[in-house]
Amino acid sequence: MADLETEKPSAGAQVFNGVKFVANVVLLPGASQIVEGRVVPGIAYAGGGLIVRCLLPGILGPLGWLAVGLDSYSYSVSGKHLWQSSRPPAKPDQRPARPPE
């Protein structure tokens, strides 16, 4: 994968990422994982999306489906889950180390 800070993806990669996004959110969560050859995680995302969609009542089912699809897309594109990519990078401690007393 391209490092997002230093290199922009090509136009073809952007189109492919858009297709993966639509496939994960509309068609089936985990579709991009399966297309990329990571079948086991793709099936796990698909099963999770179907279970969430069937078991959660009312609007929570489609929202769960959307959440699983977005996490699958995030992992497919960046290699990180949604909860890992939303955190700011950890900053090293700014204070100088104290000598032992």
Q: What is the pLDDT of residues 70-100, one digit of tens each?
A: 899 888 888 888 777 666 665 665 666 666 6
Place of tokens 């594109």: 77
pLDDT at 51: 93
Q: Are 73 and 25 in contact (CB under 8 A)?
A: yes
Q: Which of helix, strand or coil describes residue 94? A: coil
Rg (CA), the chain: 18
Residue 97 included in any domain: no
In a domain, 25, yes or no: yes
**Inter-residue contact 51 to 57 (CB < 8 Å):** no
CA 70/CA 92 separation, integer angstroms: 30
Examine residue 45 and state whether it is found in any structural domain, yes or no: yes
Residue-range definition of the domain harbouring residue 45: 11-81
Span 33-82, pLDDT tens digits: 898 889 999 999 999 999 999 998 888 989 999 999 989 988 888 888 87
In a domain? residue 67: yes
- Tell me, yes or no, whether 29 lies in a domain: yes
Q: What is the number of structural domains in the chain?
A: 1
Instruction: Report if residue 71 sits inside a domain.
Output: yes
| Reduced DSSP (H G I as helix, E B as strand, rest coil) percent helix, strand, coil of the chain, to 5 | 60, 0, 40
Domain assignment present for residue 57? The answer is yes
The C-alpha atoms of residue 49 and residue 67 are separated, in whole angstroms, by 8
Tell me, yes or no, whether 1 lies in a domain. Answer: no
